[in-house]
Structure 1
Amino acid sequence: MIEIKKILFPCDFTENSIKIIPYVLSLSEKYNSMIYILHVVDDLSKWGGFFIPHLSMDMFQNEAVKGAEKMMEKIYNEHLQDCPDSQKKIITGDPALEIIKTVESEEIDLVIMGTHGRKGLEHIILGSVAEHIVKKSPVPVLTINPHKLPAKK
């Protein structure tokens, strides 16, 4: 039988990522797995030019991290508080790269994530985070299209 001891749930705090939580909880319960909920704050310095003062960019980045911490607490308290074995983590960097790094450093067995996110020109230029993870992950990745989930009863 396959052992899934550690599940990584990369969460971008959108309504679509919240829809995936029941699947994360269900698989965690079935396999008695620890859940790692991860949010990656995009490193804003890569978007800065020489016309934007570095101090302003740092302040904006710090505010983004503080906002992420508040959202993580809200989602954790509303949806994962009763989960006995879970860890939450917020880091700054490139989302796809940091997810793969976390898979490796935490010895994750399964990644569960949504297939939503970037659209239009942003998707064309940067690609899909889920697509990158599926291609680069050393462990299985369960992708869920939140738009195809059954309506709540």
Structure 2
Amino acid sequence: MNEAISYRHIIVGVDLSEDCPKVIARAAGIASVCNAKLTLAHVLEPIAFAYGGDMPVDLSGVQEQQVQKASAELTQLAKSADYPIQQQHVLVGQPAAELHYLAEQEEADLIVVGSHGRKGFALLLGSTPNSVLHGATCDVLAVLVKKQTDLPE
């Protein structure tokens, strides 16, 4: 493959939905051709505190349970992939910002995310793939994942 278009490290941002295997498979195909390192990442929104009346409630234990559950799901996804997953990350924060930061820290040259192909008003409101695209310092691939009910008959 031409070095100008070869990738060395690919990060796959997954949302742990049923569409993840398709997104991982697309990234694995590219990684295989390029002999690239493949990393899975999932980003959880932070839920540090909630307020019930006048008393703050610490939800850090709930956040830690979410991280553990996501880590277990990421491990299962990695085991079922057709290409070796070298790293797995469960991050807490804003998805696009965390994926950008991880890509920079890991010197990744491609971020792959799933997209439901939103158009019009839904796209204007923002989506994770759109947010990842804007502000990325490397290439971004949005893999179109439509549910069976979305496909024309």
**Alignment TM-score, normalising by the size of structure 1:** 0.80
Other-structure match for 2:66: 64
Closer/same/farther in 2, CA of residues 7 and 23 from structure 1, 3 Å limit:
same
1:100–1:137 contact (8 Å) kept in structure 2? yes
- Provide, for residues 103-147 of structure 1, a one-character-per-residue CA deviation record: whole Å limited to 9, x for no partner: 1111111111111399xx99776x211101111111111111111
Distance 1:71 1:143 in 2: 21
Gaps of 5+ in 1: none
Higher helix share: 1
Q: Which has the higher strand share?
A: 2
Identity of aligned residues (%): 22
Which structure 1 residue ranges, 4+ long, deviate > 4 Å from structure 2? 121-125
User: Across the two proteins, how many residue pairs are aligned to each other?
Assistant: 143
What is the match of residue 4 of structure 1? 7
- What is the DSSP-based 3-state SS (H/G/I as helix, E as strand, rest coil) of the residue aligned with 1:90? strand
User: In 2, Cα distance between the equivalents of 1:59 and 1:117?
Assistant: 35
Alpha-carbon separation, structure 1, partners of 2:65 and 2:26 = 31
| 1:98 aligned partner | 98
Could you tell me which residue of structure 2 aligns to residue 18 of structure 1? 21
In structure 2, the CA distance between the partners of 1:148 and 1:70, relative to structure 1 (3 Å rule), is closer
TM-score of the aligned structures, taking structure 2 as reference length: 0.80
How far apart are residue 79 of structure 1 and its match? Answer: 1.8
- Correspondence for 2:139: 140
Higher gyration radius (CA): 2
Which runs of 5 or more structure 2 residues have no equivalent in the other structure? 149-153
Secondary structure of the residue aligned to 2:134 is helix
Q: What's the RMSD between the two structures over aligned residues?
A: 2.9
- Where do 1:17-36 residues align within 5 Å? 17-36=20-39
